[in-house]
A and B are shown apart, each in its own frame.
Chain A
């Protein structure tokens, strides 16, 4: 008899070592997330995947599944609060979707649509952030960084490098790169690195590819992020 948890009343099995997110995705249940990708060590920072486990809020991507857990995910309260957390990410940076080449392929935008976010709700911060276009093939637009650390983890865990890191504290946190000059061109990043492609927003972009796929034919133009996520993010933990 395998162990199970219930998510919104649905009984789903899990294997020892799986997180609630792993178990949910394996069972075809989408829990919104931005800082999580199954291939990398879970981070638990964006808090979009917050679920109620036996009455307590937990991050589904880091919290271990344990036999008999009663998990609530798609409640009115959680959906509404996930939307507010997404709005926080929007006002914190400078996210101008209509002018961004990542539009339609952007997970932040897609999650916002999925959660029916219609405005920013909170006052905008308008932070003064920089663009680093020094690298011949890759650019960083700090305005769109949501500090998810996927690039940090991809560089360490997949590319065997250490190109990115998060520095600073609190609202001053920011992405830095591993070069004495502080510029991307002086790092060992290559356009083929996974770290250059992992960004869920438009903060790290491959140059000269921006509009190869026209608007209207992009990933989230015809599918919602829940469907795309379940189709493409394969759970590898515990295998």
Chain B
């Protein structure tokens, strides 16, 4: 092991910023991070062991105790549940002989849940040693169990298990035509760098991650900073449940995304760029790496790009299972080899980002659009969309519809049009923008997707009338509690309290005051949390409480007080120990049950 660790540390030039990449390799080789590895890395990277332990315990894909040689993770997104995830994982537990969250005694396999893996249009999905599994069903699982038990190396597994499709059903401005390699850079150099920034400005392009900050302004701020060492970062930590468009863009349009980053580097004066790729998209890594190589060979990355004197290169950083790293300052922390904890702002990344240097962080789709705008000009983009939301938006559509996949629409499109296009019938409501967005009911389908109405990062999950909204609310609320970084009190404690409170109500232990308490708690978490995660973690509850109060009330018992736990259930251990199962050993929850 000593030699192995020495080797990967050396390949990373002993840079502590590469800690995540190093730990990914250790986890992949040993299926945990051994204490000896932590000690050795602490010496080699010259960082305290506590920093390494802190990182290992922060990211879901690192473990201090051994996992199986085959680490199986099943995606826990609501869309996976809608496709039968629960019965599937139960089937796996039986077939594999291992409980969820455990490693089998022989150490061959471990099984666990994981947050949405971004395969919502082809679920139920999972990961095996980090590689995406799609369209899981009983026969696929039978095959997997067999392969695991035979201990077949992953590269001998049938490729169809790992088949990931683009499923592009509707193309618009951006998806219709990929720009020619190098075209955006040639246009930018020809037109002039400042003029190109002007084109991006007049295009009205706003950040596609959801927040919608004007791209040209961000780039201009960064270019005006005094520090001359600057960075470009592409945020491909697409973790919002129900979003998968960046996965498709990186699978089929990556060259244009990299070109957009390079145009940005020319404008802001950066020499180094990073693609922060979520760990769940490991399957894209090698392909992206070869596209980067190809661009280097073609003189589009490296020194003196296209002979225009621009020096710029791009490195890929892989995440390790933490939704919070989609928040730009947490992402930067993660790139620096630390736990993904959002920074205090100000200063903003454009002033002090990666390594304290001015940094532009933009979404994959934003760079894709910027490259196209550099070629086609600002008007080409601005002529489409609404007054405040120019251009198009690429949506990831999943849930109850005939054709889940990728759809590109001009901003201002109504929800109803989208539902018609993707073949959704008998719709109860739509979760727009993922759990952190808004749930809209079937009374609101004339609303428009746009920053001024329904803002969205692209997640669009459809629920038909056979679904129970509270199942989704519960799933989302648990998701946020699991993904809270734990930095600030309102989110760390609040998201766990929300989970307890919603569980209490859904499990039928709620009483009259509990909905008021729930709403009060929601406001507290929303108003006092440090970052966007906490500020939106209560949205699933708040947006459904607003629309379906009756549904919540129907869960309540008709008494004024109800304990937050199951009294009789709590006595189960005592009954087992006393070997007593008579009626006298049971407690009634309420007076009325006694009667």
Contacts and interface: CB of A to CB of B under 8 A. Distances in A.
A92 interface: yes
26 contacts: A45-B487, A45-B530, A46-B488, A84-B524, A88-B489, A88-B493, A88-B494, A89-B489, A92-B489, A92-B492, A92-B493, A122-B493, A147-B492, A164-B50, A165-B51, A167-B57, A168-B486, A169-B57, A169-B58, A169-B59, A169-B322, A169-B485, A170-B495, A171-B495, A180-B35, A180-B49
Contacts of B495: 170-171
B33 to A, nearest CB: 12
A109 interface: no
Interface residues of B, number: 39
B587 to A, nearest CB: 19
A62 to B, nearest CB: 4
Nearest to A62: B344
B530 A123 contact: no
Given A59-B344, A123-B564, A167 B58 contact: yes
B524 A171 contact: no
B101 interface: no
B63 interface: no
A173 interface: yes
7 closest residue pairs by CB, A with B:
A165-B50, A88-B493, A173-B486, A170-B484, A62-B344, A167-B54, A170-B486
Interface string A173-184: 100111010000
B486 A171 contact: yes
B527 interface: yes
Interface in A141-197: 146-147, 162, 164-173, 176-178, 180
Contact of A47 (B48, B483, B489, B496): B489
Given A122-B493, A170-B481, 15 more contacts: A47-B488, A47-B489, A47-B529, A62-B344, A85-B490, A88-B490, A92-B489, A92-B492, A123-B497, A146-B489, A162-B48, A167-B57, A170-B492, A172-B486, A180-B35
Interface string B54-67: 10011100000000
Contacts of A147: 486, 492
Interface string B494-534: 11110010000000000000000000010010011110000
Interface string A48-81: 1010000001010010100000000000000001
A104 interface: no
Contacts of B51: 165
B346 A64 contact: yes
Contact of B497 (A88, A146, A169): A88
A59 B57 CA distance: 27
A170 B339 CA distance: 12
A44 interface: yes
A50 B54 CA distance: 27
Nearest to A64: B346
A85 B322 contact: no
A91 interface: yes
Contacts of B485: 169-170
A125 interface: yes
Contact of B527 (A48, A81, A92, A176): A81
A42 interface: yes
A215 B521 CA distance: 35
Given A45-B487, A168-B486, A176-B53, A50 B528 contact: yes
Interface in A105-137: 122-123, 125
A46 B494 CA distance: 12
A133 to B, nearest CB: 20
Given A44-B530, A59-B344, A62-B344, A178 B486 contact: no
B39 interface: yes
B198 interface: no
Contacts of B49: 178, 180
A178 B53 CA distance: 10
B490 A47 contact: yes
Contacts of B521: 122
Contacts of B497: 88, 91, 122-123
Contacts of A165: 48, 50-51, 53-54
Contacts of B48: 162, 165, 178
Interface in B1-53: 35, 39, 48-51, 53
Contact of B482 (A47, A146, A170): A170
Nearest to B482: A170
A178 B487 contact: no
A88 to B, nearest CB: 4
B489 A170 contact: no
Nearest to B340: A169
Nearest to A52: B527
B212 to A, nearest CB: 18
B489 A45 contact: yes
A178 B487 CA distance: 20
Contacts of A57: 527-528
Contacts of B59: 169
Given A59-B344, A123-B497, A45 B53 contact: no
Determine which residue in A88, A165, A169, A172 has the highest number of CB atoms from chain B within 10 A of its CB, and name it: A169
Nearest to B56: A167
A44 B495 CA distance: 18
Contacts of A44: 344, 488, 530
B489 A85 contact: yes
A80 B497 CA distance: 18
Contacts of B58: 167-169
